[in-house]
């Protein structure tokens, strides 16, 4: 036992975790069947404070199923799920939240026409005065939202602007800052960059790094190995419901990670198919094992 009660990055946690250095969340041989469909099988995963664990995989690989177990939406049907070293079985997202596990979904349950600060406190509004004359403490909510966003390095011109007018990346960032403020220890992000362009994705990646610096354990779900590699400390690749790769950053390079994602054999088959289509120059497609090389435009192929 150590007497360390916060993450190594000085985060102020509302409920200090009982353990110091152990994983915040751990899956041991965890799996989930939906009736006859085995969506997930034998998955090991650990989430540590101040680390970003990336979960990658193609469509249907089981990524959402995995985070639904951790966020309390579904229950695992095999293996173990531990929080702070103790086995748990959540029956609702509320129970996960009470343990400091917050999930930012891609569709972000925000009210587009309400101001940024109002969305920041949605469902957990600050009030003042005793019942029955209790009122919303608007000044304090505005001030706090402003401070918290700044603490994360998020600078918005005007917190009065409707959140719907922010870019997708900014909205994701506000959701991350919100989870941090409300005491999240584990932050789950389900494909936060999927619908974003290059620049906006960069914005979100920056705040993922900021959340890590504040000592949160982050689970970052993505299809994109490049995004994962920019912020990840650990990479778990799912394929057809099982772990095909689980490696720390020191053990895997971007190229290898990309290869695992693309599936070398599948890419070779695709290349073969494409070679039979006129106008596609397969020589310009990346070689297996060289998937990170940019695909050069064929000089003769275009005009
Ligand atoms: N509620 C459900 N009932 C039955 N099968 C399900 C259910 N949810 C998911 N599945 C199945 O489990 C498998 C994994 O799905 P999951 O949604 O976890 O994949 P994913 O990796 O999140 O995919 P995507 O990238 O498309 O979001 C799929 O074969 C899917 O059809
Ligand atoms: Mg999914």
% pLDDT > 70, the chain: 81
Q: What is the structure's pLDDT at 285?
A: 60
Strand boundaries in the chain, DSSP class E = 25-34, 37-47, 52-57, 78-83, 86-87, 101-104, 127-128, 135-136, 186-190, 217-222, 234-239, 242-248
Residue in 10, 8, 172, 194 with CA at minimum distance from that of residue 104: 172
For residue 57, the ligand closest to its alpha carbon is 1
> What's the whole-number mean pLDDT along residues 7-13?
37
| Structural domains in the chain plus CATH codes | 25-116+165-262 (3.40.50.300), 263-303 (no CATH)
Does residue 73 or residue 111 have the better pLDDT?
73
- 250 pocket-lining for ligand 1 (C-beta < 6 Å): no
Asked whether the predicted pLDDT for residue 298 surpasses 50, the reply is: no
CB of 215 closer than 8 Å to CB of 8: yes
- 31 pocket-lining for ligand 1 (C-beta < 6 Å): no
Which residue owns the Cα nearest ligand 1 atom 8?
Answer: 65
- 236 pocket-lining for ligand 1 (C-beta < 6 Å): no
- Structure confidence by residue, pLDDT tens digits, 112-124: 788 888 888 887 8
User: If you measure from the C-alpha of residue 300 to the centroid of ligand 2, how many angstroms do you get, rounded to a whole number?
Assistant: 40
Pocket test for ligand 1, best of 63, 76, 239 (most atoms within 8 A of CB): 63
Q: How sure is the predictor about 10, in pLDDT bands with cuts at 50, 70 and 90?
A: very low
Q: How sure is the predictor about 266, in pLDDT bands with cuts at 50, 70 and 90?
A: low
Q: Which helix (H) or strand (E) holds 133?
A: none
> What's the whole-number mean pLDDT along residues 238-261?
92
> What's the whole-number mean pLDDT along residues 134-150?
89
Asked whether the predicted pLDDT for residue 68 surpasses 60, the reply is: yes
Asked whether the predicted pLDDT for residue 288 surpasses 70, the reply is: no
Q: What is the structure's pLDDT at 13?
A: 43
- 76 pocket-lining for ligand 1 (C-beta < 6 Å): no
Kindly give the number of the ligand 1 atom that is closest to the alpha carbon of 62.
18
Q: Say which range, 69-83, 164-178, 241-255, has the weakest mean pLDDT.
A: 164-178
* CA atoms of 239 and 59, how far apart (whole Å): 9
% pLDDT > 90, the chain: 44
Q: How sure is the predictor about 154, in pLDDT bands with cuts at 50, 70 and 90?
A: confident
104-108, 135-139, 150-154, 289-293, range with greatest mean pLDDT? 135-139
Reported residue count of the chain is: 303
For residue 66, the ligand closest to its alpha carbon is 1
For residue 190, the ligand closest to its alpha carbon is 2
The encoded tokens of residue 163 equal: 């959140």
Which residue owns the Cα nearest ligand 1 atom 14?
Answer: 62
Which residue owns the Cα nearest ligand 1 atom 22?
Answer: 64
- 17 pocket-lining for ligand 1 (C-beta < 6 Å): no
Asked whether the predicted pLDDT for residue 31 surpasses 90, the reply is: yes
CA 195, 201, 203 angle in degrees (round to 5)?
135
């Amino acid at each position: 036992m150590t007497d360390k009660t916060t993450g190594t990055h000085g985060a102020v946690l509302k409920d200090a975790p009982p353990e110091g250095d152990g994983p915040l969340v751990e899956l041991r041989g965890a799996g989930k069947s939906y009736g006859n469909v085995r969506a997930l099988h034998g998955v090991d995963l650990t989430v540590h404070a101040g680390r970003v664990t990336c979960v990658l995989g193609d469509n249907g690989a089981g990524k959402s199923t995995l985070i639904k177990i951790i966020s309390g939406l579904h229950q695992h049907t095999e293996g173990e799920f531990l929080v702070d070293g103790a086995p748990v079985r959540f029956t609702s997202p509320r129970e996960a939240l009470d343990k400091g596990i917050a999930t930012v979904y891609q569709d972000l349950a925000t009210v587009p026409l309400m101001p940024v600060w109002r969305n920041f406190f949605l469902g957990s509004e600050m009030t003042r005065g005793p019942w029955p004359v209790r009122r919303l403490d608007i000044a304090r909510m505005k001030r706090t939202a402003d401070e918290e966003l700044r603490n994360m390095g998020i600078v918005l011109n005007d917190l009065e602007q409707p959140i719907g007018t922010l870019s997708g990346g900014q909205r994701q960032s506000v959701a991350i800052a919100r989870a941090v403020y409300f005491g999240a220890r584990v932050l789950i992000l389900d494909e936060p960059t999927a619908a974003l362009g290059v620049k906006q994705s960069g914005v979100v990646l920056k705040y993922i790094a900021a959340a890590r610096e504040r000592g949160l354990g982050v689970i970052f779900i993505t299809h994109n190995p490049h995004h994962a590699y920019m912020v990840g400390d650990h990479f778990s690749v799912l394929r057809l419901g099982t772990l095909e790769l689980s490696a720390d950053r020191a053990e895997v390079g971007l190229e290898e990670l990309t290869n695992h994602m693309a599936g070398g054999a599948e890419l070779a088959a695709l290349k073969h198919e494409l070679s039979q289509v006129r106008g596609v120059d397969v020589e310009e497609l990346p070689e297996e094992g060289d998937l990170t090389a940019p695909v050069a435009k064929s000089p003769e192929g275009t005009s």
